[in-house]
Chain A
Amino acid sequence: EPEVTQTPSHQVTQMGQEVILRCVPISNHLYFYWYRQILGQKVEFLVSFYNNEISEKSEIFDDQFSVERPDGSNFTLKIRSTKLEDSAMYFCASQQGMVFKNIQYFGAGTRLSVL
């Protein structure tokens, strides 16, 4: 069964460092998302991406964040200068099309720890 793949599963970094979280969405999907989940809290939307551009972003997604689809398969989230409060689980999701019954399929997440 096709699945969304995220690497690495756990990333430890020092405050101020840049990190890139990688995702390989399901191959025939067109819409891509990043969410984050701070430990013990609810899952929060960060950004959605379609047709090689951001379609929507939350207020969390400030200038420190960027997304890219550098080739036909990868979808990346970059945090330029990490802060302690960026420590969270980051989920990538993909969706086939923009209709309700198209479910968002989530990857297993990358746990980011900022020290």
Chain B
Amino acid sequence: AQKITQTQPGMFVQEKEAVTLDCTYDTSDPSYGLFWYKQPSSGEMIFLIYQGSYDQQNATEGRYSLNFQKARKSANLVISASQLGDSAMYFCAMSLDNFNKFYFGSGTKLNVKP
């Protein structure tokens, strides 16, 4: 069965510091995609970054980067230079080749302190 695990229910980071949010996944499918979404207190789900299982390089999108370690089945999100507006829930999600539904982790609540 497919599974996404986020072991950090809550994290604090000082403004302007970098923070890593952990995500591990479990699948026997060789082909999959990994996604991170941000959910502010207003509730919407905002796409941040994508990593494909066959991608050789770690994905980056502005201040977001994904530390993809395939052998360890981890896909950690790194946010550099944290801003107050980064305070939100962050969800890791996975989709598989033949079934495009997303499997979500339980989320990490990030608080950025001024």
Q: Which residues from chain A sit less than 8 Å from chain B, CB to CB?
A: 31, 33, 35, 41-45, 48, 56, 58, 89, 91, 93, 95, 98, 100-101, 103-109, 111
Contact = CB atoms under 8 A, between A and B. Distances in A.
Given A43-B91, A45-B101, A101-B52, A91 B45 contact: yes
Contacts of A103: 35, 47, 50
Given A108-B43, A108-B44, 15 more contacts: A31-B100, A43-B104, A44-B104, A45-B101, A48-B101, A89-B43, A93-B45, A100-B32, A100-B50, A103-B50, A104-B47, A104-B95, A104-B102, A106-B46, A109-B45
A56 B45 contact: no
Contacts of A43: 45, 91, 93, 102, 104
A106 B35 contact: no
Identify whether the interface residues of A are mostly helix, strand, loop, or mixed. strand
Contacts, number: 63
7 contacts: A33-B101, A43-B91, A43-B93, A100-B95, A103-B50, A104-B102, A106-B44
Interface residues of B, number: 26
Contacts of A89: 43
B102 A100 contact: no
A44 B107 CA distance: 12
Interface in B19-64: 31-33, 35, 37, 42-47, 50, 52
